Structure 1
Amino acid sequence: MDTITTLIERNDDFVENRFPSGLKLVPTLKTLIIGCVDPRVDAAHILGVQLGDAAIIRNVGGRVTPAAIEELVMLRKVTQAGGGDMGAGWDLIVLHHTQCGITRLGAEPALLATYFGVDQQELAGKAINDPHEAVTVDVAALKASSSLAGGFLVSGMVYDVETGRTEVVVAPSLLREETTVG
């Protein structure tokens, strides 16, 4: 059986047995998660997030990059168009993990620098080889971004791919006071 056939059969099962109709555009938990594309680290599975609970952005390393910040800005506009608003009362979680594939890109400084929107000399500050330090760096990047609405509770977590445990590395704290950002 080919992959597409397998996936269509799984979708049929989903439609027949687990499809929750009537979900809203604004997540019920008022939560955004930035996580890695690694198939071992699906935030919905490891954190028990159900359809409609949270918006999840996945990228290489689960990193806060210029593109991730742009996505957060766009998501705010989407939620505003859907009758909600992101910011006060919302959680913004950065989720990194052990044994991340991004650590294998050390020999690709030009690629990493472009990804992070920095000069190659600034890559050491991105803590690419240490998920605990990297999540701290990324929470700081969110707090430094003037394009995000204030009011979020921002936190950082690290998932251990060998034990399945998630550790809070950066406790929830206010991104900054609520502001009126476009």
Structure 2
Amino acid sequence: MTVIEDLIARNADFAADHFTRGLRLMPALKTIVIGCVDPRVDPNEVLRVRTGEVATIRNVGGRVTPELLMELGMLRRVTQAAGGDIGPGWEFIVLHHTDCGITKLTDRPELLSLYFGVEEKSLSVEAVSKPRAAVAQDVAILRDDARFTGVRVSGLVYDVSSGSVELVVAP
């Protein structure tokens, strides 16, 4: 059986026994979790989120990049078109983790500066190699974005060796 055949078979089981009808477009907890694509750190699994409770965005390092800010802006437009809005009463949770692959690129400032949309001289190596510093930096960027005034923003770090999260920046 190929990977795609296996996944389609798993979906058949999901559709038959686990699918929840009637979920709304808006996450029930009015929360967006921003996390890393690392397969060890699925935010919905790590935080035991049920289907429909949160929206999850994943990228390399779980970082707040210019592209992520554009995506959040687009999501805001989607919520407005659906009769809601990302604003007061909503939460953003930034979830970084230990042993992140992005830390392997600290010797590639030209690549990282492009990803973060900053000049190389402005790139903080600490905010790439240290997850707590990275979370604090990303939370600050979100809190400073005028499009999301009133959104509560917090930051967590997940330890891949223990399975535990640590609150690094309180909402």
TMscore range, shorter length: over 0.9
Provide the C-alpha distance between the structure 2 equivalents of 1:151 and 1:107, rounded to a whole number of angstroms: 37
Q: 1:144, CA displacement in angstroms?
A: 2.0
* Counterparts of residues 100-179 of structure 1 (less than 5 Å): 100-124=100-124, 127-146=127-146, 148-172=147-171
Q: Is the 8 A contact 2:106 2:125 kept in 1?
A: no
The answer for the alignment partner of 1:33 in structure 2 is: 33
- What percentage of residue pairs aligned between the two structures are identical? 56
Deviation for aligned residue 1:126? 6.0
CA shift in 2, pair 1:126/1:143, >3 Å: farther
In the alignment, the residues of structure 1 paired with residue 126 and residue 86 of structure 2 have an alpha-carbon distance, to the nearest angstrom, of: 27
Distance 1:5 1:19 in 2: 19
SS in 1 for 2:26: coil
Counterpart contact for 1:89–1:153, Cα < 8 Å: yes
Unpaired stretches in structure 1, ≥5 consecutive residues: 173-182
Q: Secondary structure at the match of 1:127?
A: helix
What corresponds to 2:95 in structure 1?
A: 95
Residue-by-residue CA offset, 1:54-79 (whole Å, 9 max, x unaligned): 11110000001111111111101101
Report the alpha carbon displacement of residue 107 of structure 1 after superposing the two structures with TM: 2.3
Runs of 4 or more above 2 Å deviation:
none
Q: TM-score, normalised by structure 1?
A: 0.91
Cα distance, 1:150 vs structure 2: 1.1
Q: In 2 relative to 1, CA 143–61 (structure 1 residues): closer, same or farther, beyond 3 Å?
A: same
Are the equivalent residues in 2 in contact too, given 1:136–1:156 (CA < 8 A)? yes
The alignment's C-alpha RMSD in Å is 1.0
Map 1:3-82 → 2, pairs under 5 A? 3-82=3-82
Cα displacement string for residues 118-157 of structure 1 (whole angstroms, at most 9, x for unaligned residues): 00111126610000111001111112223x2211111000
Output the CA distance in 2 between the equivalents of 1:151 and 1:142.
Answer: 11
Q: Would you say the 8 A contact 1:36–1:61 is kept in 2? A: yes
TM-score, normalised on structure 2?
0.97
How many aligned residue pairs are there? Answer: 171
> Which blocks of at least 5 consecutive residues in structure 2 are unaligned?
none
Q: Distance in 2 between matches of 1:170 and 1:131?
A: 12
